[in-house]
Amino acid sequence: MRRSIIWKFFAVCISLTLVTVFALNFFASLKLRRDFESKISERLRTNAILVGHILREQLHGGEPSVIQEKVKSLADELGLRITVIDPKGMVLGDSETEPWEMENHSDRTEVIKAMKDGFGQSTRPSETLGYNMKYVAVRVSDNGNLLGVVRFAMPLSEVQLEMQVIYRTVLFGAAVALVIALTISYFLSKSMTSPIREMKEIAQRLAEGDFSRKVRIKNKDELGELAKFLNTMADELQAKMENLKRLDRVRTDFVANVSHELKTPLTLIKGYIETLEDKAINDTKNAGKFISIIKDHTDRLSNIIDDLLSLSELELSKDSIEKSEFDLKSLIDDIALGFGHALAAKQQKLTIEPQGDNFKIKADRDKIEQVFVNLIDNAVKYTNDGGRIEICLVQQNGGIVFTVEDNGIGIPREDLDRVFERFYRVDKARSRQLGGTGLGLGIAKHIVLAHKGEIRIESDVNRGTKFFVTLPKA
């Protein structure tokens, strides 16, 4: 059977409380009983001393009947049994019985002790009365001469009756303490265990993949810390799950995209070949046109495959970039020359603005060239005729930052995060028409990351786009 932690905790509290209350009860009763008994002895003793004083004259050789009379009236007033015994043990007066009917008392423990030490007490059954009594005896003397012993007695049943009142009071106190302790321990167990229960519930939800709920425990103790860890763990798990899902999506998209990108040119190529087969091959004018279209598509296929290969190569061997020292500025100048024709065709103007003069960098020259080519190619492609492209070079924090800025069509805010994904194109039709497959920025990003650099983008629709690339010097 599964038992809740609250009951375990509660059981421990109850056991502790019970043990404590019973121990307290036991010792308190013991102590109270002793106190009570000694108080009774003390009372009897004082009374006996007083009676001794009162009877002193008679004990000097007075009339025994006077002693008996006085003893009776004093006992009546005090409500206790009084016995007066002479030094030889003979009973001179007794409030309960006639003295001559009583045997010699010199052998009674309390009497022997009183004669010797001045005070004695004992508890035993009374031979005269037949039930348990508490006896207290004191010596009466005059200038050291023993005159006799005054003895007080009290039925033990009376003592016990009073003791019972004490026991009952103590027991009542214990019961009250027990109830209070139980109530407190119940609420304490609850308050201790409710955070544990809450965390258990949330951990269960986590296990089922529900990350929506958080533990709301603000305790400043270990439980609070545990709650914090649980929440952090939930956040991390959630992030990891989302990332996994995203990766999965990217992968599926990727496969679909690759197939699509390869299939389109292949379908077209097949179509043209079939047309050629159906006689068009004899139509010299059109045949040449078809063949050159087939060639274009074949080039395109081969470009896509090259891009895919370099992407997967980058992914597989991030560390295998071959670094050499070269000047970034002169690399850019060379690339710009290569774009001369494309720029002229769209009447676009490219400016290069180095701020400073030392742009030496240790990196993989071919790959960095690929980054520039991709960025400048995009700027040219996605900027209208007569547009402006600006490249800036700055040294910063021991690295080099370069920017490629255009005043072209821009990228909508919601697409900004995704343009680095493989095959992602903002306007698919337009980009494909321009010969793009959506791999350029993915490749650029991988290259920059492999160099432990950073790439980021700022863009406004219809205003233009600016790419920032930071590369460490070595």
Ligand X SMILES: Nc1ncnc2c1ncn2[C@@H]1O[C@H](COP(=O)(O)OP(=O)(O)OP(=O)(O)O)[C@@H](O)[C@H]1O
Is 387 an interacting residue with respect to Mg ion (CB under 5 A)?
no
DSSP one-letter string for 180-240: HHHHHHHHHHHHHHHHHHHHHHHHHHHHTT----------SSHHHHHHHHHHHHHHHHHHH
Measured CA to CA, the distance from residue 100 to residue 93 in angstroms comes to: 9
Binding residues for ligand X, total number by CB under 6 A? 23
Least distance (Å) from Mg ion to the CB of residue 279?
39
**Residue of 134, 148, 139, 47 whose CA lies nearest to 90:** 148
Least distance (Å) from ligand X to the CB of residue 272?
23
Output the CA torsion 164→170→171→173 (10° steps).
150
Q: Which is nearer to ligand X, 314 or 419 (CB)?
A: 419
Which DSSP letter does residue 383 get?
Answer: S
String marking each residue 332-371 x if it binds ligand X according to CB under 6 A:
----------------------------------------
What amino acid occupies position 329?
K
Measured CA to CA, the distance from residue 387 to residue 431 in angstroms comes to: 18
Binders of ligand X in range 441-460 (CB under 6 A): 441-442
Task: Report phi then psi at 347, rounded to 5.
Answer: 45, 45
Q: Which is nearer to ligand X, 409 or 448 (CB)?
A: 409
Least distance (Å) from ligand X to the CB of residue 449?
15
Is 440 an interacting residue with respect to Mg ion (CB under 5 A)?
yes
Output the CA torsion 363→366→369→375 (10° steps).
-100
Least distance (Å) from ligand X to the CB of residue 411?
5
Q: Which does 379 bind (CB under 5 to 8 A by kind): ligand X, Mg ion, none?
A: ligand X
Is 114 an interacting residue with respect to ligand X (CB under 6 A)?
no
**Residue of 311, 308, 324 whose CA lies nearest to 446:** 311
Q: Which does 408 bind (CB under 5 to 8 A by kind): Mg ion, ligand X, none?
A: ligand X
The residue within the footprint of Mg ion, chosen from 185, 378, 403, 470 (CB under 5 A), is 378
String marking each residue 374-403 x if it binds ligand X according to CB under 6 A:
x---xx--x---------------------
Q: Which is nearer to Mg ion, 181 or 439 (CB)?
A: 439
**Residue of 41, 43, 36, 94 whose CA lies nearest to 65:** 94
Q: Which does 150 bind (CB under 5 to 8 A by kind): Mg ion, ligand X, none?
A: none
Can you say how many angstroms the Cα of residue 84 is from the centroid of all Cα atoms in its chain?
80
String marking each residue 404-443 x if it binds ligand X according to CB under 6 A:
--x-xxxx-------x----xxxx---x----xxxxxxx-
Helices 222-277 & 156-207 angle (0-180, nearest 10) = 20
Q: Which is nearer to ligand X, 454 or 458 (CB)?
A: 458
Least distance (Å) from Mg ion to the CB of residue 357?
30
Q: Are 75 and 95 in contact (CB under 8 A)?
A: yes
Closest chain position to Mg ion (CB): 440
Residues that bind ligand X (CB under 6 A): 374, 378-379, 382, 406, 408-411, 419, 424-427, 431, 436-442, 465
Give residues in contact with Mg ion (CB under 5 A): 378, 440
